[in-house]
């Protein structure tokens, strides 16, 4: 599907589709300013958080980013419009899926912005697919278990679907209307985090692309761990913002109505990408 629509900033072009890859029919969207030719500069790939969709993670910032760049937003295995496959979830597989999508779209290099579990996927892309990475923006993610706030991993084994935020449940059911699918997505997301394994420091040190790490001062990742990541990745910068997990990008569960933080965050991300 391709169309043009009017945003608050400018006229933008929108295309959506499915790519058959790695046993998935993977849903993606392409947003760009009207008149911006495909292939002009590195596109920006958005990778959503666990249990989420393009819209639940990025509805506040996607229009702002798409006013500046060609934006490719994806929905990962079992999330949003992308149906599941009979395999467990892993950040390695998600990274391979995103890389395969870029190959399908004939894009050789891109910038990547990942939020939460999407940030973990972006870390893995930087490690295993460095040739396709121009720059990385890692938001609210960690690379070791001790980087999460106290109790995060202790609570994970006992988590149930009742603990999943209602806006995320609603978004899934509006797309699929499949309670069993929702339970499966939750279980696979949970199991991936229950069995989360630290990345060795050496793997983060192998990331040579310029990297921008962003976290909130009351985030799931501790500010101290975010600083550690920024020191280990060779060409990394760090920004700590006031807010909780995703509030500063307007994520659906933590957004504050009327907040100017998402717009300010996008401005600083754009400054990093445009250097």
The Cα 205–Cα 166 span in angstroms is 38
Encode pLDDT of 184-230 as tens digits. 999 999 999 999 999 999 999 999 999 999 999 999 999 999 999 99
- Sorted by where each begins, the domain ranges of the chain are 2-274
Handedness of CA 121, 124, 128, 133 (dihedral sign): positive
pTM value is: 0.95
pLDDT tens-digit readout, 137-155: 999 999 999 999 999 999 9
Enumerate residue ranges in the chain where pLDDT < 50.
1-9
| pLDDT at position 12 | 76
Q: What is the pLDDT of residue 64?
A: 97
**Would you list the DSSP string of 14-57?**
EEEEEEEETTEEEEEEEEEETTPPTTSS--EEEE--TT--HHHH
The two structure tokens encoding residue 23: 């046993």
Q: What is the pLDDT of residue 207?
A: 98
Find out if CATH 3.40.50.1820 is the number for domain 2-274: yes
The separation between the first and the last C-alpha atoms of the chain, rounded to the nearest angstrom, is 33
Entry field: residues in the chain: 275
Cα 184 to Cα 252: distance, rounded to the nearest angstrom = 21
How far is the C-alpha of 261 from the C-alpha of 249, rounded, in Å? 7
Task: Give me the residue label for tokens 């890692």.
Answer: 138
């Amino acid at each position: 599907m391709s169309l043009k629509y009017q945003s608050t900033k400018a006229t933008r072009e929108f295309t959506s589709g499915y790519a058959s890859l790695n046993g998935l029919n993977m849903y993606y969207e392409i947003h760009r300013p009207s008149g911006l030719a495909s292939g002009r500069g590195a596109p920006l790939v958005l990778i959503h958080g666990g249990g989420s969709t393009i819209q639940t993670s990025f509805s506040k910032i996607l229009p702002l980013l798409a006013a500046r760049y060609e934006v490719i937003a994806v929905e990962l295995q079992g999330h949003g419009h992308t149906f599941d496959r009979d395999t467990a979830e892993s950040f390695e597989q998600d990274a391979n899926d995103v890389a395969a999508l870029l190959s399908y779209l004939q894009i050789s290099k891109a910038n990547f912005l990942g939020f939460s579990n999407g940030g973990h996927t972006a870390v893995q892309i930087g490690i295993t697919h460095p040739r396709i990475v121009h720059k990385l923006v890692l938001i609210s993610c960690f690379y070791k278990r001790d980087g999460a706030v106290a109790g995060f991993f202790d609570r994970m084994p006992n988590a149930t679907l009742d603990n999943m935020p209602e806006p995320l449940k609603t978004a899934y059911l509006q797309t699929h209307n499949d309670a069993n699918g929702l339970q499966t997505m939750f279980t696979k997301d949970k199991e991936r985090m229950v069995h989360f394994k630290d990345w060795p420091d050496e793997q983060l040190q192998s990331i040579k692309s310029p990297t921008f790490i962003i976290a909130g001062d009351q985030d799931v990742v501790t500010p101290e761990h975010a600083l550690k990541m920024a020191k280990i990745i060779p060409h990394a910068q760090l920004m700590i913002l006031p807010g909780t997990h995703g509030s500063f990008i307007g994520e659906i569960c933590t957004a504050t109505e009327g907040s100017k933080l998402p717009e300010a965050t996008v401005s600083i991300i754009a400054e990093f990408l445009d250097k």
